[in-house]
Each structure stands twice: as C-alpha cells, then as structure tokens.
C-alpha cells in the first residue's frame, strides 16, 4: 500500500517562509533535486526516499539529504502520521551536521509544537 504524505514548509509567526527563501537561493538544478524528493514523499511516502533520509541523533528531527557534490540538507519533523514539516535547509560543508543548523531547526520545531 502506498502511503502518501503532505509536505509543509515552516512559516514564521510573521509570515516569513525561510524554506522558500532557501530554495530560491539554490541553483535551478539543486532546487529541482530537492523538490523532486519532496514530490516523491508526497506521492509515495517517506519509505520511497529511504536512501535520502536520516535521523539526527538525539533530536526529534530528520534530514533529507541531496547527496553528491551539492550536499544539500532539508531538516524536517513529523507533524502528524501523514505529514512532515520542513523546518530548515542548508548546504552542508562538513561531515558532521553543524550544531548551529540543528539549533535553528529545533527553535522552529518548538515554535510549531507549542
């Protein structure tokens, strides 16, 4: 059975959309790769993109990974059983996910779970 999911982008209480801004900062090719993964999740569920997702140890967060020379990450959390919310995006430059990026995602996570 295919379990589709809804993918939401985080929006601040002021109405800003840092995820849309992040996508706009990427090249068209990079945008296409990430949006293709989001679309696949919406159509077929998280299981369909397993090589591209990884939990962030010690946090209720997961990252969608665009692997290769781009090294793009989109950090998300499960919103409900059938939806995720993209909290933060960044281009990864080091092997380990920088704490600064996790803190941004966790701040947004706490904001939406209040």
Of the candidates 29, 49, 30, the residue with the CA atom closest to the CA atom of residue 39? 49
| pLDDT value for 104 | 97
| pLDDT value for 86 | 98
| pLDDT value for 54 | 94
Within a domain: 1: no
pTM, entire model: 0.92
Looking at the 3D structure of the chain, how many domains does it have? 1
CATH number of the domain encompassing residue 107: 3.30.2310.20
Domain that holds residue 81: 6-112
Averaged pLDDT, 29-46: 94
The overall average pLDDT reported for the chain is 92
| pLDDT value for 26 | 96
Structure tokens at 19: 């995820």
Sequence-distant (6+) residues with CB within 8 A of 92 are 71, 72, 73, 98
């Amino acid at each position: 059975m295919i379990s589709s999911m809804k993918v939401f982008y985080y929006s601040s209480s002021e109405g800003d959309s840092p995820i849309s801004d992040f996508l706009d900062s990427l090249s068209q090719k990079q945008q296409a790769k990430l949006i293709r993964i989001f679309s696949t999740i919406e159509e077929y569920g998280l299981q369909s993109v397993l090589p591209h997702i990884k939990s962030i140890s010690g946090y209720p967060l997961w990252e969608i990974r665009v692997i290769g020379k781009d090294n793009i990450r989109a950090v998300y959390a499960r919103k409900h059983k059938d939806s995720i919310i993209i909290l933060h995006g960044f281009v990864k430059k080091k092997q380990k996910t920088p704490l600064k990026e996790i803190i941004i995602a966790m701040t947004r996570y706490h904001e939406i779970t209040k």
